[in-house]
Amino acid sequence: MFDYRPSADLLAGRAILVTGAGGGIGRACVLSLLAHGANVVMLSRSRRKLESLYDEAEKSWPGRSFIQPVDFSRTGPEDFAAVAASLEERFPALDGLVHNAAALGPRSPIEFYPERQWQEVMQVNVNAAFLLTRNLLPLLAKSADARVLFTASGVGREGRAWWGAYGVSKFAVEGLMQTLAQEVGTTTSIRVNSLNPGGTRTAMRAAAFPGEKPDTLPTPESLMPVYLYLLGPDGRDLHGRALDAQNFNP
Ligand SMILES: NC(=O)c1ccc[n+]([C@@H]2O[C@H](COP(=O)([O-])OP(=O)(O)OC[C@H]3O[C@@H](n4cnc5c(N)ncnc54)[C@H](OP(=O)(O)O)[C@@H]3O)[C@@H](O)[C@H]2O)c1
């Protein structure tokens, strides 16, 4: 794993939004960003999980976390505009956008893949990431050093049978990352990358690989040095890259 031990004020004064904050990698990311000084907007589907995380965060870092319950499978363009408006009221600029939320959907051959679930996975994993990014670009552009980090997957870099919409959506995420990186690379200070966490001990991984022993996998917390590096000043030179958290060597 990447050996990086930044100071506790690495992200002081930065505002960062994390989607899928309620559990797994997103939750670990929120706590790690708060522990390194950031103000964090936690966006996720379950209000209950967000409120529990908020209560935990308030005990150690009062006044620096904010919750945004949003179900990406039920949102329209106006909901993303509302998220952007609420951030604009709160922060002069947005310094980080971590696209971490994702739906797994069923593992099924394309021949039998259910259409409704195909649409839902694409909505959560691709359309929501596009709409959130588009609405937040003006606020990201106001930062002197902003990051957009998409979450990739191995099955979105090389196709794999039965992974259906999830794998295809992660290919689309890479395309969105590359397209955005080219568009903003020379005109703004926004730096855009994708990061594949690799097999990690979370609920999604357990659902995808029910026979696997969770304790053989790295924890979300063990990946956090990579997230901190990419979201902080040291990651400034990485742009347009498809990165791997478990093999990270900048
Ligand atoms: N774990 C792995 O081995 C692995 C490997 C490669 C890539 N990844 C990627 O890493 C990211 C995090 O995954 P994870 O393993 O931490 O999974 P996880 O524990 O299942 O967390 C997924 C998060 O996404 C949120 N989410 C799901 N559907 C949503 C919706 N409709 N609207 C808003 N939020 C929604 C969930 O919110 P609620 O908790 O509120 O329901 C949850 O917080 C994903 O992009 C995943 O594709 C994971």
Q: List pLDDT tens digits, range 144-170.
A: 999 999 999 999 999 999 999 999 999
In the Cβ-directed half-sphere of 228, how many Cα atoms lie within 13 Å? 26
CB atoms within 10 A of CB 67: 19
Torsions phi, psi for 4 (to 5 deg):
-145, 120
Q: Which amino acid is at 215?
A: D
Could you confirm whether 227 is annotated as catalytic? no
CA of 20 to the centre of ligand 1 (A): 5
The answer to the question of residue 36 being in a domain is yes
Q: CATH no. for residue 62?
A: 3.40.50.720
Q: What is the pLDDT of residues 82-94, one digit of tens each?
A: 999 999 999 999 9
The answer to the question of residue 8 being in a domain is no
Q: Which of 40, 99, 204, 247 has the most ligand 1 atoms within 8 A of CB, as the residue to mutate?
A: 204
The answer to the question of residue 157 being in a domain is yes
**pTM of the entire predicted model:** 0.98
CA 46 to chain centre: 16
The answer to the question of residue 111 being in a domain is yes
The answer to the question of residue 7 being in a domain is no
Written as six digits, the tokens of 33 are: 């960003």
CA of 165 to the centre of ligand 1 (A): 15
Count up the domains in the chain and report the number.
1
The answer to the question of residue 10 being in a domain is no
CB atoms within 10 A of CB 8: 9
The answer to the question of residue 202 being in a domain is yes
Exposed / middle / buried, residue 78 (Cβ in 10 Å: 0-12, 13-18, 19+): exposed
CA 174 to chain centre: 13
The answer to the question of residue 207 being in a domain is yes
CA of 145 to the centre of ligand 1 (A): 26
**Dist. CA 238–CA 234, nearest whole Å:** 9
Among the listed residues 54, 166, 227, 229, the single catalytic one is 166
Domain span at 94: 15-247
Q: What is the pLDDT of residues 198-223, one digit of tens each?
A: 999 999 999 999 999 999 999 999 99
